[in-house]
Structure 1
Amino acid sequence: MWPVVLLVVVAVVETAIILQARATVTEAARAAVRVQALRGSHSGEAEAAARDVARASKVTDVAVTVKTTDSLVRVDVEGRVATLFGTAVAVKGHAVAIEEGT
């Protein structure tokens, strides 16, 4: 019975690690889209904001994509998070906002 309990505990911890990383990249995308939606901002500023948020967590290999079409800004953030057994799991997040002044 103890092996089953231990397996369940490990599965819960692994799930928590992945969900926390997913929330982090989503928040990184939100931070980047807020920066990019401001009038006069540059895409480099949005990428830096996303990387700063992702760096606060254990998310690695962060890739940020900023797209502006008409008056909409979309930011996609992808990264990887290491699990307890050393495997890396890909996590993705995105956010969309309307550009300021449109």
Structure 2
Amino acid sequence: MATDEDRRLDDLAERLGRDDPRFAHAMRSGTPCSPQEYRRGAAWAMLAVALGGLALGIAIGHGLLIAGGLVLAGAAAHRFDPDRNRVRQGIAPPPG
């Protein structure tokens, strides 16, 4: 029974290493690091730029800048989805 459990844990560790190498390395070394689905710094920066461009486009009345801000805001919102990598790989997200 112990070998079966060890094999399952090794399989889980291998999948974690493939999915998020930075988090797996942090777990091995004992230094805290948030998992990939909780690292959203780039998404916040993209959203700030998008909203700035949208506000500037509204202020000066430039339609192309408004449209660009809206498109960039949509792309930034997509980056906040924690299951975006699973969906891209064709794996169904967990229920609930």
Structure holding more strand per residue: 1
Q: Which has the higher contact order (CA 8 A, sep 6+)?
A: 1
**TM-score interval, normalised by the smaller of the two chains:** 0.3 to 0.5
Q: TM-score, normalised by structure 1?
A: 0.38
Structure holding more helix per residue: 2
The structure with the largest alpha-carbon Rg is: 2
